[in-house]
Amino acid sequence: MFWGDVVYYVPFGPLTCMLMGIIGTGIWVHYTAYMYNQVTWALEILGPTVTAHDLGRMHEAIIATSTVYMLFAFFNFLVGLWRKIIQVKQDTEGYDAKTGKIYRIVVLLLGFSWWIQVAWLVLLLMGCGIFAVDAYVAYRIMEKVQQNQGAMAGVYSAWVTGAATGWSINPAALAAAGGDLIVAVSDGNGWPRAVTCPSTCLNLASYPIVAVDPDQACVCDPLTIAHAMEALNNALSSTAGMFVGLWFMWVFGMFFQSILTADFVRSDCEAKAQEGALGVAGGGANGGGAGGGGKSFGARGAASFGGRGYNKL
């Protein structure tokens, strides 16, 4: 019987939600940070001056969200534990109206803070979605560039083997241009690659999500593009884990709110029952028929409506 009482007062609901919320946050942080690092690596591969001005916001979101959500989950657990402590005191000493009122105020404030976090999670979901879409679009563009380079491979091979004649292009200049004849001619005439970048190269100047020096905007080296694609492919592989982590954070946050709402309603019912009991006891005393019995009902007897049978959800 003793262990049954102990188990009853353990806040299993808040404890489970806290653990699952922490797990969900860990999943989201792991996969989002991995995606962020892989995209950063892809930008470094493409060139020393290639940057994405909005990429830093994802790093800030990882730190801020993980910190706030962890604190929220832990504080929710503490409030759930506080509720069980109130129940223990109520079952042994009787109802404490002041503590119950403070508890309900704290629950209301915590519930309000959760809906602020829900709004943030929605924005975070949108941001993560845009991040994933940008990575996917960049990967597909590089894939198309590789296909164009494959189509030009025969022309480059003809130049190298000498099968093509009549072209006054230096072989070294052609090799420096990644085998692209248009780029080689453009470089030879001093034209900036950002303006004359052909379809066989990646023109970074045409994408507003990145910033790059105009002289380094046209990336034609097949190995550079292949390595950047590898990094983006690694980033895209973590997309599912990123959204699963967000799902855990939202679902178990809603479970937390359901538990707190139920505890708030229960505490409010206990307060109203206490007021009714005191009213009946006071009426009996004024009528002269209550005596000591009425007094016992208002003191120790108050635990009867707030004991295990009443509080158990």
Cβ-contact 87, 311 below 8 angstroms: yes
DSSP letter for 209, please: T
Token match 């295990």: residue?
308
pLDDT digits (tens, 9 = 90+) for 88-104: 888 777 777 888 889 88
Lowest mean pLDDT among 40-54, 114-128, 189-203: 189-203
243-268 pLDDT per residue, tens = 999 999 999 888 888 888 888 888 88
Written as six digits, the tokens of 53 are: 């001005």
Q: Are 84 and 9 in contact (CB under 8 A)?
A: yes
pLDDT-above-90 percentage for the chain = 30
Residues 125-136 have pLDDT tens digits of 999 999 999 999
For 304, the token pair is: 């009867």
Could you tell me the sign of the dihedral formed by the alpha carbons of 174, 178, 181, 184, in that order? negative
Lowest mean pLDDT, pick from 176-185, 186-195, 197-206, 290-299:
290-299
Q: Which of 283, 260, 232 is nearest to 105 (CA)?
A: 260
Q: String of b and e for 263-276 (b: at least 16 CB within 10 Å)?
A: bbebbeebbebbee
DSSP reduced 3-state for 197: coil
For residues 248 and 11, the model is more confident at 248
Stated as kind and residue range, the H or E segment containing 272 is helix 239-286
Over the stretch 25-54, which tens digit does the pLDDT of each residue have?
Answer: 999 999 999 999 999 999 999 988 899 988
Residue that has been written with the tokens 């359901």 in this structure: 258
Spell 147-183 as b/e; 16+ CB within 10 A means b.
eebeebeebbeebeeeeeeeeeeeeeebeebbbbbbb
Whole-number pLDDT of residue 241: 94
> Do the beta carbons of residue 141 and residue 202 sit within 8 Å?
yes
Q: Structure tokens of 221?
A: 């080296």
Q: Cα dihedral sign for 144, 147, 153, 155?
A: negative
Q: Average pLDDT for residues 211-234, to the nearest whole number? A: 90
Amino acid identity at 110: L
Q: Strand, coil or helix: what is 51?
A: strand
**CA–CA distance, 84 with 7 (Å, rounded to integer):** 11
Beta bridge partners of 218: 203
Between residues 256 and 275, the one the model is more confident about: 256
| pLDDT at residue 226 tops 70 | yes
Is residue 93 within 8 Å of residue 62, measured between CB atoms?
no
Residue 302 one-letter amino acid: A
Crossing angle between the packed helical segments 239-286 and 55-93, to the nearest 10 degrees = 30
Of residues 51 and 166, more confidence is placed in 51
**pLDDT > 50? residue 298:** no
Determine the average pLDDT of the residues in 173-179: 68
What letter would DSSP give residue 312? Answer: -
Q: What is the DSSP secondary structure assignment for residue 201, as one 8-state letter?
A: S
- Give the Cα separation of 307 and 309 in Å (integer): 6
